[in-house]
Amino acid sequence: MGHRIAFPGLSINMTERLVVVKRSDRKDTPHLTISFENLSGEIDLHLKYESAKNDASSTYEPIIKIQKVVLEQELEHFFLNTQAKVIQLCLRNVKKVRPGWLARHGYILMWVDEEELKKDLFNTAPKKRGKHRFDPSKLKLLFTDNDLSRIRIFYPDELHGLAAMGFNGTLNAVRANKKPRMIQIKGIQVRNRIVWVMFHRKTVPEFSRVLNELIPQRFKDEVKLVWFKIYDALQLNEIGIERE
């Protein structure tokens, strides 16, 4: 079963085998195809310039072909090489938290039903004529008339009870008088018990920096060249997408 997402001037069609990106407001630009489940075992990324009848006169411009098994091996090698640095990063930026610490620092806990929230967000972009289209009125209603049953408030000393029930999801700890006003804590399984930890607010930027350093410059240059080729062929500047 396929899915289609529509943006102003651009449409994305997805199936289990293909992703096709094309301009919806022009007929003279190619479309980008990424195919996965090919008999050759390759992942094939190419541009297709279709003729009026989409016949033999249609032309293909290959961009990348890579064996799926080779890509999987390269990714596995990359993750093995980065594993140690990622673990070090986590250890530097993860702090164990206890109910007493949260209470002394004035935090209360808030849980949001993320699955239901995701459903609500998807409902703001109903599918019409095969395309998902955002409905501004539904999006406004989502934020002005939210179902409060999907949000629960806990005191810090209730963490023990949540752990005993096996809850190990993500909670937001919030306070009004000091910064940081909100931190995220998560329960992780350690030796058959739940331990609550919080992530330093600089974790994401630092992780991005470390990841950027670990990715070979040659690979980044090749990705940039591919992006420039796609960008120029589909003339994405016309619909407000930046090249750099």
- Integer CA distances (angstroms), 1 to 52, 134, 226, in order: 27, 21, 29
Residues 6+ apart with CB under 8 A from 118: none
Instruction: For 73, list phi and psi in degrees, rounded to 5.
Output: -65, -40
pLDDT per residue, tens digit, the chain (244 aa), is 678 888 889 999 998 889 999 999 988 899 999 998 788 888 999 998 876 655 566 788 899 988 888 888 888 887 777 777 766 766 667 788 889 999 999 999 888 776 766 676 667 666 666 666 666 666 666 656 655 566 788 888 888 888 777 776 788 888 888 887 888 888 877 777 778 888 766 666 776 777 777 788 888 899 899 999 999 999 999 998 888 7
Whole-model pTM?
A: 0.53
Q: Which of 11, 12, 13, 10 is nearest to 2 (CA)?
A: 13
* DSSP states of 78-110: HHHHHHHHHHHHHHHHEEE--HHHHHHTT-EEE
Q: Which of 181, 195, 165 is nearest to 110 (CA)?
A: 181
- Integer CA distances (angstroms), 93 to 66, 142, 149, 201, in order: 37, 34, 33, 8
Q: Please give the Cα distance from 235 to 66 (Å, whole number).
A: 26
